[in-house]
Structure formats: C-alpha cells, structure tokens
Amino acid sequence: MKQLILKLGREKSLARRHPWIFSGALVRVEGDPDTGDTVAVRAAGGEFLAWAAYSPVSQIRARVWSWDEKERIDGDFLRARLRRALDVRKRLIAAEASDAMRIVHGESDGLPGVIADRYGEVVVLQLLSAGAERWRTELSDGVRELAGCACVFERSDADVRELEGLPVRSGVLQGALPAAGVHIREHGLVYGVDVAAGHKTGFYLDQRDNRKRIGELARGREVLNCFCYTGGFTLNALAGGAESVLSVDSSAGALAQARVNLERNDLDAARAEWQEADVFKYLRTLRDQGRSFDLIVLDPPKFAPTAAFAEKAARGYKDINLLALKLLRPGGLLASFSCSGGVSAELFQKILAGAALDAGVEASIVGHFAAAADHPVLLSFPEGDYLKGLLLRRG
C-alpha cells in the first residue's frame, strides 16, 4: 500500500485539519508512490489520518484530499467537490454583481492546488500541485460539464509549479476562446480580460468588492491609483464621480488595455491620466513636483510569497506607503493592500504604522479590506488568507 508514516507527535497539525504535510514530518514512505499518487497518511502508531496527494520533490510532501478513510479519491470524488464549490458560489455571489468569479479556490474548497476562475463563458484552470496535475483530465472535464462553459483555458504557469517539479502548461484545454476576446461585467462596468497572458488568470477577481468600495469613496476626489494594471480601481473611481484619476503602472500593455476599458465604458477620458513608470520612482517624482491627492490606492504585486521573504517585503511596503502618506492631503484616504501570503495582517499594520511615523503624519484606520467571498479561507488553513488591506485617513 502507498502510504506516508509520520514521525511521533507530527500528527498534531493534521488533527487540526491543516491540509499540508511537510517533508520534515515524515519518517518513511512506503509503496513507492509516483508524483501525484494518492497515499494514505498514518501516524507513527499506524492510525489513519488522511488521504493525500504525494509530491516527492516539494517541501510540501503531500496535500490532503480527504480525512475520511472510507472515501475513494477518483473522478466522482473530484466532481462532487467541484459541484459543491459551484453551489457555494451561486449562494454567495449575486448574478447581477458579475459574470466573473472564482469557482474553485484550492485548499479552501477541498481541492488543493486547483484554481478555477470563470470569465463569462470561459473558465481558466490553474493546476498548481502534483495531485492536481495527476487529475488534470478529470478536473478539466468536470469544470466544463458542471460550469457549462464554452472553453476551458489552462494557465498552469505559476512559479509554484517549479517547486512541485512540474512543467509550465498554458493553452486551450477544451473548446475555443471567443473570437471577439474575453469580456466580463462587474458592478455595471465592462472589462476585457487577457486570459492567455494577463496577470494571474487574467484579472484580479479577489478585489471585486474593494473596487466597488473605492468607487463609492471617490466622488469629488483627486485620485492616484498605483500599480493600476488594466484599470479596475481607476474605472470604479471615475464611475463613482472622481474629479480626476492618475493611474500608474510599469506595463505598457496593461495601460493600453486599461485605456480600451475606459473607452468601452464611455467614461470621461479627460478625467483620466495614465503614466507608464516604476511606481517606487514615480512616487518620488510626484513628491518632488509637490503633487497631492485626496485618495490614493496602492495595490502592488506580491512582495513576499512566503514568510522567508517578509523582511525584504516589509521594506518595500514601508517605502511606498511612506511616500503615499506624504502625497496625501490632510483628511485624505489611503487604500493600501498586500497580497503577500508571507506578510500577516498584524505585520502589515505595523509596517503602515512605521510608515506614518517616518512620514511625520498621523493616520487612523477607518476600514479594512479582504478578498471577495468567492475566495474563502478555511479556518484550519490560515495560509489561504493572503489578501489584506487597510483604509487609512490622514489627520
């Protein structure tokens, strides 16, 4: 039988239903399992703990599929998990809010390493673990059937696959992409989405509710949107009645898509200014020019994928937030985000407190941001709580 035997006392995290088994917890591997094979995980005394997917090269040596010894991990099991995930979304996300959502969120949906994002009639599938890769065909078939989509597009190109010893995969799995491109609707706005080459799976679905909130706060304000990507926060701010929005990103391609999105929604282009630049450098330029704003959005890319990068990430977060606070007018608002799993909410707040101190300003927390409801966080898996944000008011 293919199974993993844990060291004495190392079953405690599994007893708390944490779904990862690290290599250092194992005393031996039995049955010569291949990459992605389902293995039984047993305590040192032989007691069954879980069924998990084996990954021989990753530090996360196995990821739990099920805690039930009677369960069989097969296509029917995966289909049932997919159906459950879809049913949850139907109850949580109103159809009128958007036709784009995350329909599978990895470990939090009992499908470790599986991400599935729906963009209208296209579902983008990411398989980020050895176990997910092992069931690639079954997962693709199940997603297309249960979601009723016209196309399943694979974006298994994240860096984490290298840690699993897996090759990069990207392209159409089933069906065909729409000839006119992929477009989605969110809170009354329409966006084009590049599912083939865009960030993540093409769009930041986790920020759906936060984009709407920024739109509500923007009326009558001069706004600075940093790391704007394809203009999500920008479009919401303009639609919400912002006096002006200066949007900054280092990607010419993203800015070009943002401009197209602006035109697509018939928003006033005269209130929108676009700047291709390194945000860290450009914030200093704005400071030197004496510019100031009523509302600033900082939504940078991931600085710390794990806690090992937290110290370096902290310096980056402090730098941009310090500069932003100096550019913020008294009474102005700063919406500052971190999508770094290696930076906790507590640490992020400490970083912003340090930034305010060094900037010589007083600031108060007047709101919190988190991922939308289609990105659930399993209570026993705090690593899934990656997106956090604070809304600060400068005194």
- CA angle at residue 259 from 257 to 260, to 5 degrees? 65
Distance, in Å, from the CA atom of 148 to the CA atom of 120, rounded to the nearest integer, reads 10
Which residue, among 211, 269, 220, 266, has the nearest Cα to 241 in the 3D structure? Answer: 220
The two tokens of residue 316 are 């980056």
Distance, in Å, from the CA atom of 258 to the CA atom of 243, rounded to the nearest integer, reads 18
> Is 226 a residue of the active site?
no
Distance, in Å, from the CA atom of 158 to the CA atom of 200, rounded to the nearest integer, reads 8
Most distant CA pair in the chain: distance in Å?
Answer: 70
- CA angle at residue 41 from 306 to 134, to 5 degrees? 70
Which residue, among 321, 141, 335, has the nearest Cα to 232 in the 3D structure? Answer: 335
> Mind telling me the catalytic residues?
339
